[in-house]
C-alpha cells in the first residue's frame, strides 16, 4: 500500500512539474537590454519588467551592458544569446555594440525575432547601419537621413537629408496621441485620440525611413517649441522575418525616479505590453484596459 501511495505521489508531482514547465514554455521570452542611457534605466527597467510579468504572458530576463568607459575586454565578454528569446526590449542608449553582437542580433531579427525600442533607445547605435534601417527614424541631425512627419491634415510629408529640422523636443507637457492605424493589432480598440501624460514630444527624427508603418502620431505645437507638424510616436518596420516596433513615448530622466509619469501612463503601458506581444508573435491578446485614457483625460498607474 505504501508503495502504491509513493507511486501515486510521484506521478502527481511529475504531472504538476510537467504542467508547470509546459506553461512556462508557452510564455513569451523577453530580454531587456540596458546599462547605458541618458535616462533613468536603473528604475525604468524594473518597471518595464513588471508591466510584462504581471500580465502572466511573459518571462523576462535582463542583460546589462558594460559601462560606456569599460575596457574592450569587458565588452568582449558581453554577448547575449538572443536565440533564447522571442523579443528584445531595448532600454539602451549608447554606442554601437561590438560587431559580433551586432551580427548576432541582426540574424536574430532577420530570422523572426522581435525588437521593441523604448523612447531614447532610438537615439543609440550611431553608425550601425542595420539598426538604423530596422528602426527607421532616430535621434539624428538634419543631414543624417530622411524626415517623416504629417501635416495638419495628417498627410504624410517626407523631406530629404538636410531639409527641415533635426531631432529635438520642446519642454515636457501632456499631449494627445492620435491613432492613425486603428486596425493594427497593437492599436486596435484604442480611442482615435487619447491624452498622454507629461512627456517629451520628439520631433525631427531622421533616418532611412523605409518600410515604415506609422501607427500613432502627436501634434508638435509651435507654442511648445515644436515643429507645427504631427510627429510619429509609434511605428513598426519589417526586417527579414522579424518585426521592429519603436515608441518614442516614455521619457524618465535621471532625477525622475519618484514620478516616472511618462511611463506610468496607462496608454504607454498598454502600448508597451501589446507591442512586445505583437513583435514576438504577430498577434495581440492583451486587452485594452477599462481605464485607458480618453481624448481629454489621461490615466496614471499608481
- What's the pLDDT tens digit per position in 227-272? 999 999 999 999 999 999 999 999 998 776 667 999 999 999 999 9
> Residue 209: its pLDDT value, please?
98
Cα→Cα distances 47→8, 44, 207, 217, 246, Å:
42, 5, 29, 24, 18
pLDDT for 12 equals 52
Distance CA 184, CA 295 (A): 20
**Torsion sign over Cα 186, 289, 40, 42:** negative
User: Would you kindly state where each structural domain of the chain is located, as residue ranges?
Assistant: 24-281
User: What is the rounded (10 degree) CA torsion for 109, 110, 113, 115?
Assistant: 30
- Pick out the chain residues at pLDDT < 70: 1-25, 256-258
Residue 25: per-residue pLDDT: 55
Rounded Cα distance, 115 and 126, in Å: 17
Per residue in 52-75, pLDDT (tens digit) is: 999 999 999 999 999 988 888 999
CB 299 within 8 A of CB 266: yes
Residue 105 phi/psi, 5-degree rounding, is: -70, -45
DSSP 3-state of 130: helix
- Distances in whole angstroms, Cα of residue 180 to Cα of each of 84, 156, 167, 177: 34, 11, 22, 9
Tell me the longest C-alpha to C-alpha distance in the chain: 85
Specify the pLDDT at position 5.
53
CATH of domain 24-281: 3.40.50.880
Q: How many residues in the chain?
A: 302
Q: What is the DSSP letter of 35?
A: S
How much is the pLDDT for 253?
A: 86
pLDDT recorded at residue 6: 57
Query: Given this model, what pLDDT does residue 258 score?
Result: 66
Per-residue pLDDT at 20:
47
The model's pTM:
0.91
Amino acid at each position: 500500500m505504501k508503495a502504491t501511495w509513493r507511486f501515486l505521489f510521484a506521478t502527481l508531482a511529475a504531472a504538476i512539474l510537467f504542467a508547470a514547465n509546459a506553461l512556462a514554455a508557452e510564455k513569451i521570452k523577453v530580454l531587456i537590454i540596458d546599462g547605458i542611457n541618458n535616462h533613468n534605466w536603473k528604475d525604468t527597467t524594473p518597471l518595464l519588467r513588471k508591466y510584462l510579468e504581471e500580465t502572466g504572458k511573459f518571462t523576462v530576463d535582463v542583460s546589462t551592458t558594460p559601462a560606456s568607459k569599460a575596457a574592450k575586454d569587458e565588452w568582449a565578454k558581453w554577448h547575449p544569446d538572443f536565440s533564447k528569446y522571442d523579443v528584445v526590449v531595448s532600454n539602451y542608449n549608447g554606442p554601437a555594440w561590438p560587431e559580433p553582437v551586432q551580427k548576432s542580433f541582426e540574424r536574430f531579427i532577420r530570422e523572426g525575432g522581435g525588437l521593441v525600442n523604448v523612447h531614447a533607445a532610438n537615439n543609440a547605435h550611431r553608425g550601425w547601419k542595420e539598426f538604423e534601417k530596422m528602426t527607421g527614424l532616430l535621434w539624428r541631425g538634419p543631414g543624417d537621413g530622411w524626415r517623416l512627419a504629417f501635416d495638419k491634415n495628417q498627410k504624410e510629408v517626407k523631406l530629404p537629408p538636410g531639409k527641415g529640422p533635426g531631432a529635438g523636443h520642446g519642454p515636457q507637457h501632456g499631449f494627445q496621441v492620435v491613432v492613425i492605424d486603428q486596425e493594427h493589432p497593437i492599436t486596435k480598440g484604442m480611442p482615435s485620440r487619447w491624452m498622454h501624460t507629461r512627456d517629451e514630444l520628439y520631433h525631427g527624427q531622421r533616418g532611412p525611413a523605409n518600410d515604415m508603418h506609422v501607427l500613432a502620431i502627436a501634434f508638435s505645437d509651435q507654442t511648445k517649441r515644436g515643429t507645427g507638424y504631427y510627429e510619429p510616436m509609434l511605428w513598426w518596420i519589417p526586417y527579414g522575418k522579424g518585426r521592429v516596433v519603436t515608441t518614442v513615448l516614455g521619457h524618465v530622466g535621471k532625477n525622475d525616479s519618484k514620478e516616472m509619469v511618462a511611463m506610468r501612463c496607462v496608454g504607454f503601458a498598454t502600448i508597451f505590453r501589446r507591442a512586445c506581444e505583437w513583435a514576438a508573435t504577430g498577434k495581440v491578446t492583451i486587452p485594452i484596459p477599462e481605464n485607458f485614457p480618453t481624448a481629454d483625460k489621461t490615466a496614471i498607474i499608481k
